[in-house]
């Protein structure tokens, strides 16, 4: 079965976006919007190059064991980390779940875009902050992965589902910064 998500902006009836599984390259797609009918003659019209997959940058927080969540809750949070994430994103959008967005201030919400599946919604080169979301289904879309290590062990029942060191990912950058509630947080950037 093919997965197809359609977003439609009701304020601007011409603004719509389609996200289709990278493995699906059918020759025609029909879209029905507000009773109107549009036909796109080919998927190739929607992307620059057949076979091209939109790339994104995933950001995750992990403990020393690769844990990300416990009992459907984040292991920890840190206001200095949130500031660092927003600095990395700059003016671009930052995709995340509604659960993740709640930890950011009202002022920070301007750049935040919420989606049930942030990696599916993110556009070319955009950032996703993930908490407990699986990476494996979106591995082909990943341009890079930024891990923020707590440098502690927390209870966890959800872990990062890609073994970066075993699946062709290379650590290209590592730095540390002082957190607000953590003595140090390590930032690691992985690329293929």
The 10s digit of each residue's pLDDT in 92-130 is 899 999 999 999 999 999 999 999 999 999 999 999 999
35 within a domain of the structure (yes/no):
yes
3-state secondary structure the chain: CCCEEEEECCCCCCCEEEEECCCCCCCCEEEEECCEEEEECCHHHCCCCCCCCCCEEEEEEECCCCEEEECCEECCCCHHHHHHHHHHHCCCCEEECHHHHCCCCCHHHHHEEECCCHHHHCCCCEEEEECCCCCHHHHHHEEEEEEEECCCCCCCCEECCCCHHHCCCEEEEEEEECCCCCCCEEEEEEEC
Domain co-membership, 96 together with 16? no
Q: Residue 163 belongs to what domain range? A: 56-191
Domain co-membership, 81 together with 145? yes
The structural domain count of the chain equals 2
Binned at pLDDT 50, 70 and 90, residue 166 comes out as confident
Q: What is the pTM of this model?
A: 0.73
Domain co-membership, 41 together with 17? yes
Domain co-membership, 60 together with 28? no
23 within a domain of the structure (yes/no):
yes
Binned at pLDDT 50, 70 and 90, residue 165 comes out as confident
Domain co-membership, 67 together with 40? no
41 within a domain of the structure (yes/no):
yes
Q: What's residue 53's pLDDT?
A: 60
50 within a domain of the structure (yes/no):
no
pLDDT at 145 over 90: yes
Domain co-membership, 60 together with 32? no
Domain co-membership, 33 together with 115? no
Instruction: Indicate which CATH number applies to the domain containing 152.
Output: 3.40.430.10
What value does the mean pLDDT take over residues 38-60? 56
What value does the mean pLDDT take over residues 164-191? 95
51 within a domain of the structure (yes/no):
no
């Amino acid at each position: 079965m093919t997965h197809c998500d359609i977003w439609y902006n009701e304020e601007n009836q011409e603004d719509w976006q389609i996200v289709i599984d990278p493995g699906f390259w059918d020759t025609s797609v029909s879209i029905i919007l507000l009773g109107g009918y549009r036909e796109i003659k080919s998927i190739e019209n929607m992307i620059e190059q057949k076979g091209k997959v939109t790339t994104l940058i995933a950001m995750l927080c992990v403990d020393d064991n690769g844990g990300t969540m416990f009992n459907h809750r984040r292991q920890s949070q840190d206001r200095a980390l949130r500031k660092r994430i927003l600095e990395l994103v700059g003016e671009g959008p930052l995709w995340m779940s509604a659960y993740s967005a709640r930890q950011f201030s009202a002022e920070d919400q301007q750049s935040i875009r919420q989606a049930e599946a942030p990696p599916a919604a993110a556009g070319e080169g955009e950032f996703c902050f993930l908490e407990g979301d699986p990476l494996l289904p979106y591995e082909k879309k990943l341009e890079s992965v930024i891990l923020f290590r707590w440098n502690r062990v927390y209870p966890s029942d959800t872990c990062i589902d890609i073994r970066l060191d075993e699946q062709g990912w290379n650590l290209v950058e590592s730095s540390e910064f002082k957190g607000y509630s953590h003595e140090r947080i390590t930032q690691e950037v992985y690329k293929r």
